[in-house]
Amino acid sequence: MTKKLLVFTFCILTEGIIFAQTTINPVKKGNKQLGIQLMLAPIDLFWSETALSINENQTRYGLNIAPSVQWFVEDGWSFGLQSNIGFYREKDKNNVNWGYNEKIFDLGITPFSRYYFNVGRNNRFKPFVFAGLPIIYSDVQRTYNNQQTTDYDEQSIELNGTFGGGVAYFGKAGSIEMNISNMGFFIGVSKFSGRKAK
CB 67 within 8 A of CB 82: yes
Contact 73, 79 (CB under 8 A): yes
| Predicted confidence (pLDDT) at residue 194 exceeds the cutoff of 70 | no
Residue 4: phi and psi, rounded to 5, are -65, -40
Closest C-alpha among 124, 110, 123 to residue 35 = 110
Between 68 and 10, residue with greater pLDDT: 68
- Write the pLDDT tens digit of every residue in 54-81: 888 888 999 999 999 999 999 999 999 9
User: Residue 145 — pLDDT band, cuts 50, 70, 90?
Assistant: confident
158, with CB counted inside 10 A (0-12, 13-18, 19+), is exposed
Contact (Cβ atoms closer than 8 angstroms) between residue 114 and residue 78: yes
Query: What integer is the mean pLDDT of 78-107?
Result: 88
Where does residue 26 fall: left (phi above 0), alpha (psi -120 to 50 degrees), or beta otherwise?
A: alpha
From the CB of residue 27, how many other CB atoms can be counted at a distance below 10 Å?
26
Q: Which residues pair with 119 in a beta bridge?
A: none
| Residue type at 94 in one-letter notation | N
Distance of CA 88 to the CA centre of its chain: 17
Please state, in angstroms and rounded to a whole number, the distance separating the CA atoms of residues 114 and 68: 12
> Residue 20 burial by CB count (10 A; 0-12/13-18/19+): exposed, middle or buried?
exposed
Mean pLDDT of 156-169: 94
State mean pLDDT over 30-59.
90
pLDDT the model gives residue 18: 38
What value, to the nearest 5°, has the Cα angle with vertex 115 and ends 125 and 70?
Answer: 95
Is 0.85 topped by the overall pTM?
no
> Is 86 a residue whose pLDDT tops 70?
yes
Name the residue with higher pLDDT: 13 or 86.
Answer: 86
Per-residue confidence at 14, pLDDT binned at 50, 70, 90?
Answer: very low
Average pLDDT over residues 107-121: 91
* Contact predicate 183/45, CB 8 Å: yes
Q: What CATH code is assigned to 25-193?
A: 2.40.160.20
- Taking the C-alpha atoms of residue 39 and residue 65, their distance in angstroms, rounded to an integer, is 6
Report d(CA 133, CA 129) in Å as an integer: 14
Q: How confident is the model at residue 150 (pLDDT cuts 50, 70, 90)?
A: confident
Predicted pLDDT at 12: 52
Q: Supply the mean pLDDT for the chain.
A: 84
Q: Is 196 helix (H, G, I), strand (E, B) or coil?
A: coil
